[in-house]
Structure 1
Amino acid sequence: MTNLSEDRPVPTFRITSARPVDAVPRGRIGYDLSADRLLLHTIQPKGAVDALLSTGVLVPDRSLAEPYFADAYAWMLQRMGKRLATTGDGALWFWAKITRRDLVDFCRRSKGDVLLTCRAPRERVLLSHFGDWHSVLNGRPLVWDQPGESDEDFTTRLDRVFDDFEDRIRAAGSQDLSLPYWPEDLRTEVEQGWKSILEPDNYGRFGSWQATMHELRAEDVMNAVRLES
């Protein structure tokens, strides 16, 4: 974690105010998932922004994590520990690629909070595909589309894969157990598939991407806008 020297000034940034529709500049946002410094957005409550301004660093509050998704969060933290240059026991969440319309919609649901626009070095950021992250949240295999496959055929195959997996989970007596207590072959199977969501090269140009970091530093912040009613 970052420790700021007592004789080093804490970086700061100015907070403006705007309606949600005006908080995000119009036009193309300009995300580039291959950049050395990644453009990120996050919406944080006032208390978190105050902590960032006073200490120069914001770290996750693990008490805010949804207990139902503890296994998914633990898997993501393991990946962060293996891939990032930083360390920590929690994750801060960002948008790394999202449409302006969707970002404005999230701002509308977060009035009173602060939209932070940031740039952070790639070595401190783990990217993951937002849509397929739900396979991890649901604790189920990641199933890819096949070339030329219709929506109906994909749905049929998806149901077949899920039904087979559920049968194997039940046969192992693990239907009521969390991921760490599954048989090793089943756990390894799903976790190997989930790793695909961390690689932008596996996807086309469309789709939303999220990012996780162990900490946000005040010097990462480019712009801060308090979201007005």
Structure 2
Amino acid sequence: MSSFPISEACPADAVPPGRIGYDISADQLLLHTLQSEEAFDALCSAGVLVSDPSRIDPFLVDAYDWLYRQMAARLTTAGDGAIWLWAQITRRDLVDSCGHSIGQVLLTCKVPRERVLLSHYGDWHSVLNKFPHIPELRGESDEDNTACMNRRYDDFVARLKAAGAWGAGIAAWPTDLRADVEQGWESIFDPGNYGRFESWQATMHTLRAEDIVKAVRIRR
């Protein structure tokens, strides 16, 4: 039997009104995740939820493999995949996510920081798309940032084409280029590189029943 309350609500009522109260600097992180009813049942039954890495889109395997290596190096836990959660998102966007997740379960969680890897939601897409991450510098104009991004991208493409690796997986990239790009991606983990009002995602090896504060089944 679960030790947390379980209720049902429409998307607009699944998230309490007002400020959610995220604090990505806290020792205990407030997190939200939407999981299928099947996954929720597995969590309640086994007391733990783990992911299935075999279900990843083949195009995204390289990005997820890099993330898994980062989790192995940075977290105190171990595992083969990742559970995805929100660590900071607007209430409106979380309600919108619930609206696209009818039949799923919204879990509110509290998890020790050492079990969680935070990453910037928007800039994670550089990893997904296998592009260099070019952060915007403080005081840099949009025009200068765009010019810098174009130069870096053109150089990236030229080096891949020269190595015959354009369109290939990361494993086929020149070693020095791969090291440069992967090192650049690591900046997405540092909140100091961003402003206060950014969206942050979280990944964990396992989600435990004792991490759950409450569960809300999303209904129409």
Bin the TM-score by the shorter chain.
Answer: over 0.9
Alignment length, in residue pairs? 220
> For the residues of structure 1 that align with 2:50 and 2:135, how far apart are their CA atoms?
34
Structure 2 counterpart SS, 1:93: strand
Q: What is the CA distance between 1:120 and its match in structure 2?
A: 0.5
Q: CA deviation at 1:151?
A: 2.1
- 1:93-104 to 2 correspondence within 5 Å? 93-104=84-95
Choose which of 44, 56, 65 in structure 2 pairs with 1:65: 56
After TM superposition, give the deviation of residue 160 of structure 1 in Å: 2.0
Alignment match, 1:112:
103
- 2:58 counterpart of 1:74: no
The correspondence for 1:166, drawn from 143, 157, 160, is 157
Match of 1:201 in 2: 192
Question: Structure 2 vs 1, CA of residues 11 and 85 (structure 1 numbering), >3 Å: closer, same or farther?
Answer: farther
- Report % sequence identity: 60
Return the letter of the residue paired with 2:141: S
Please give the root-mean-square deviation of Cα atoms over the aligned residues, in Å.
Answer: 1.2
Segments of structure 1 that go 5 or more residues without pairing to the other structure are 1-9
Cα-to-partner distance string for 1:91-122 (whole Å, 9 max, x where unaligned): 01000000000000000000010000000111
Counterpart CA distance in 1 for 2:118 and 2:188 is 8
Which residue number in structure 1 is paired with residue 178 of structure 2? 187
Instruction: Give the conservation status (yes or no) of the 8 Å contact 1:92–1:215.
Output: yes
Query: Helix, strand or coil: the match of 1:13?
Result: coil
Partner residue of 2:76 out of 77, 85, 92: 85
State the 1:13 CA deviation: 2.8
Structure 2 alignment gaps of length 5 or more: none
TM-score by length of 1: 0.92
| TM-superposition CA deviations, 1:32-86 (whole Å, max 9, x none) | 1111111000000000000000010000022332221100000000000001111
Q: Is the 8 A contact 1:20 1:107 kept in 2?
A: yes
